[in-house]
């Protein structure tokens, strides 16, 4: 009596190996596609995160824009005008009393000036966004900051260049708020950085705002109430262009402008809707 033979034939074994090989290839392809999708999604999240961080810093600086005014001196000047009416034109000038020699040697006081100078592509002003990083360090509560779009060299392996958003900061506040200080790159591959301003005396958004001697009657000595910031990042990855855009309207919390006219107590915030992205 013959025993029954059990086992795989050659054809069955080859079919099994082919099926396993096919499953292995499909599994490897699925894993590879999942890894590539994760890397792509992570790159997009990193790009958006860097843009949001830059916009958040710009917002914080503009929110805390610092407009210095010596209110005590302004009140003193008003009281002097009220207590000293205009004298006749032929009245001789009042003699100036002699001063103490020590007092004459004292350097006269000069009030600081804080300006806000911006155009469609750059912005410079004084802000209170100045964190103290070292305890008990002697530093002012306000600094000069500036934002502008300029060329920079990429830190990536390819070492290419692109337009970058630079932030300038200086601990010394002087009459020219547009110069001085150190610059750092906030964002690479920036294709658009646009600014517009809104404030009392302007019927619509404007592309220039100067509080210094170069400003007009509506802006000289007066900070805007809000700044519109439009930012676009565009970079090329494997023959594909990735583009991310953000647009925000940033109010200045305390413009500290001198009140004008009878409607000074009324709100002058522009009644406009923010543009859609």
- Structural domain spans, the chain: 30-81+111-132+140-251
pLDDT band at 272 (very low <50, low <70, confident <90, very high): very low
pLDDT for 192? 94
pLDDT for 113? 80
pLDDT tens across 14-29, in order? 888 899 999 988 888 8
263 vs 93, 204, 260, CA distance in Å? Answer: 39, 19, 7
Residue 166 to residue 124: CA distance in whole angstroms: 12
pLDDT band at 265 (very low <50, low <70, confident <90, very high): very low
pLDDT for 91? 53
Beta bridge partners of 229: 195, 248
Question: Are residues 197 and 224 in contact, defined by beta-carbon separation less than 8 angstroms?
Answer: yes
**Assigned token pair, 84:** 């000293």
Residue 60 has pLDDT above 70, yes or no: yes
Pairing of strands 226-237, 240-251: antiparallel
Find the mean pLDDT for residues 131-146.
76
Residue 46 has pLDDT above 60, yes or no: yes
pLDDT band at 233 (very low <50, low <70, confident <90, very high): very high
| Of 46 and 184, the one with more pLDDT | 184
- Its pTM stands at 0.71
The DSSP code sequence of 15-55 is HHHHHHHHHHHHHHHHHHHHHHHHHHHHHHHHHHHHHHHHH
Q: Which one-letter DSSP state was computed for residue 261?
A: S
CA angle 160, 165, 166 (to 5 degrees): 105
Find the mean pLDDT for residues 145-158.
82
Range with the poorest average pLDDT among 3-12, 127-136, 190-199 = 3-12
| Of 151 and 3, the one with more pLDDT | 151
Residue 117 has pLDDT above 60, yes or no: yes
Range with the poorest average pLDDT among 41-55, 97-111, 146-160 = 97-111
Nearest alpha carbon to residue 115 among 39, 19, 179: 179
Range with the poorest average pLDDT among 133-142, 146-155, 159-168 = 133-142
**Assigned token pair, 129:** 């966004």
**Assigned token pair, 101:** 């020699």
pLDDT for 186? 92
**Assigned token pair, 166:** 């630079």
Q: Is 177 helix (H, G, I), strand (E, B) or coil?
A: coil
Q: Is 103 helix (H, G, I), strand (E, B) or coil?
A: helix
Average pLDDT, the chain: 80
């Amino acid at each position: 009596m013959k025993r029954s033979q059990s086992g795989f034939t050659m054809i069955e074994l080859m079919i099994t190996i082919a099926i396993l090989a096919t499953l292995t290839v499909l599994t490897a392809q699925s894993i590879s596609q999942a890894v590539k999708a994760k890397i792509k999604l992570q790159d997009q999240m990193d790009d958006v995160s860097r843009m949001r961080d830059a916009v958040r810093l710009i917002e914080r600086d503009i929110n805390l824009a610092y407009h210095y005014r010596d209110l005590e001196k302004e009140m003193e000047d008003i009281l002097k005008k009220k207590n000293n009416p205009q004298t006749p034109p032929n009245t001789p000038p009042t003699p100036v009393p002699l001063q103490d020699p020590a007092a004459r040697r004292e350097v006269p006081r000069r009030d600081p000036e804080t300006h806000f100078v911006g155009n469609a592509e750059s912005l410079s002003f004084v802000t209170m966004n100045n964190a103290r990083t070292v305890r008990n360090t002697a530093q002012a509560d306000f600094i000069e900051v500036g934002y502008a779009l300029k060329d920079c060299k990429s830190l990536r392996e390819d070492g290419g260049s692109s337009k970058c958003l630079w932030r300038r900061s200086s601990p010394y506040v002087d009459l020219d708020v547009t110069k001085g200080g150190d610059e750092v790159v906030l964002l690479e591959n920036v294709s658009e950085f646009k600014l517009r301003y809104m404030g009392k005396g302007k019927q619509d958004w404007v592309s220039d705002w100067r509080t210094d001697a170069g400003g007009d009657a509506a802006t000289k000595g007066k900070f805007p109430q809000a700044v519109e910031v439009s930012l676009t990042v565009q970079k090329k990855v494997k023959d594909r262009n990735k583009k991310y855009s953000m647009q925000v309207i940033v109010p200045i919390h305390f413009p500290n402008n001198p009140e004008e006219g009878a409607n000074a107590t009324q709100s002058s915030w522009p009644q406009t809707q923010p543009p859609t992205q």
